[in-house]
A and B are shown apart, each in its own frame.
Chain A
């Protein structure tokens, strides 16, 4: 069966997950993002590619940063952008997900950017559009449940490539709440697909999904050992709002054992970069001295994220 994200010519038609995408597609997205970084430096920060197209930001779950960067990206491509926070509208009146989609499609939507608390919601929308002969409407997953956050994974890869040039001899450590993190899953699939030889996850047993090794990562429970010799340290947000049951004694305990402090970062290579997908919990997963330090590339990640999302939407929105 064909990858549901690709059309008959092997080109991207939806972006639902990084898992299963060929390396050439990932590389092409990263290559395409580069010229879009320059658009932000112009007098007029806009290109006309999506002029006359309607992009619907369908956010069934709260997000400020992701929604804003998608909105900026679509506007810089000259699209008309409509933001819908569904948890405060139709869904509370009982409308189903696919009824919402059908109504917006009837308003001539060209693209849906979907954030949903349930894993698989963007897939379901893409399948529904295909089953009803509306493949010309594109779907971008902006984060679904614990499953995937592909544009975050891609912007992280763009950031790594920007600072480290090449993936082929890197050691990358992903530190923190992997269990609840769709970001971590997208990062792992992207890193292994792009040929990073050593991908590590560093977390307490309670914050790791069982069988994570099968994704091609080395598991560390000790942060000192996990960071040793790393070129890239990717911290994850401790997802308090998703915690159910006693996975952790307290956030203070977590910081004591897994918080990224300058002393712990010193175990990594001296030119290692520190990343975080935001929003940060200072003093929980990351010390302020690291977050604001010279090795942090957290704000460049945000800037690159706009160019990467422009690239994805421009690649989807054409023929």
Chain B
């Protein structure tokens, strides 16, 4: 199965978001793929706010089953969340659990005016009532397949599928 061109999807995603951008708009990427995409969107949309970065390890709903994620990174939101229009950015939308965790975490920084969700691709398989606001691509994969974004040494974003 051919995988989508991640760089092209970043441009398509920026085109979808552009009409909705206001002075209050700010991006928050989810580690790790979402952070790379948020940096590209930031440049493409010319946003004043530098993007934030979230690692949702402290908010995951499988902590009691699986323990703390081994390589949690620092979350960092360099702008005031209170009253902001936030766009959560991630590479792949799947069960929706990461997005729920991200929203829970964002509210610990303040009360945003609005939250949207931007992803490069939606692979289905939702386990929560969460839908993307901006999504240029869909594909269907079996539950045993993992889809993730990687960055090549040259800095190019590419999708990779692995079997669980």
Contacts and interface: CB of A to CB of B under 8 A. Distances in A.
A39 B105 CA distance: 10
Interface string A77-89: 0000000000000
Interface in B45-104: 55, 57-59, 63-68, 70-76, 81, 104
Contacts of A318: 63-64, 66-68
Contacts of B68: 32, 49, 314-315, 318
A28 B73 contact: no
A54 interface: no
B43 to A, nearest CB: 25
B108 A42 contact: yes
Contacts of A46: 108
Among A28, A32, A34, which residue has the most Cβ atoms of chain B within 10 A? Answer: A32
Given A35-B58, A318-B63, A319-B65, A48 B104 contact: yes
Among A11, A38, A315, which residue has the most Cβ atoms of chain B within 10 A? Answer: A38
B110 interface: yes
Interface residues of A, number: 20
Closest 10 CB pairs of A and B: A318-B67, A47-B58, A44-B108, A319-B67, A35-B74, A35-B72, A38-B74, A314-B68, A318-B63, A318-B68
Interface of A: 11, 28, 31-32, 34-35, 37-39, 42-44, 46-49, 314-315, 318-319
Given A35-B75, A47-B58, 17 more contacts: A31-B71, A32-B72, A34-B73, A35-B57, A35-B72, A35-B73, A38-B75, A38-B76, A42-B108, A43-B81, A47-B105, A47-B108, A48-B58, A48-B104, A314-B68, A318-B64, A319-B67
Interface of B: 55, 57-59, 63-68, 70-76, 81, 104-105, 107-110
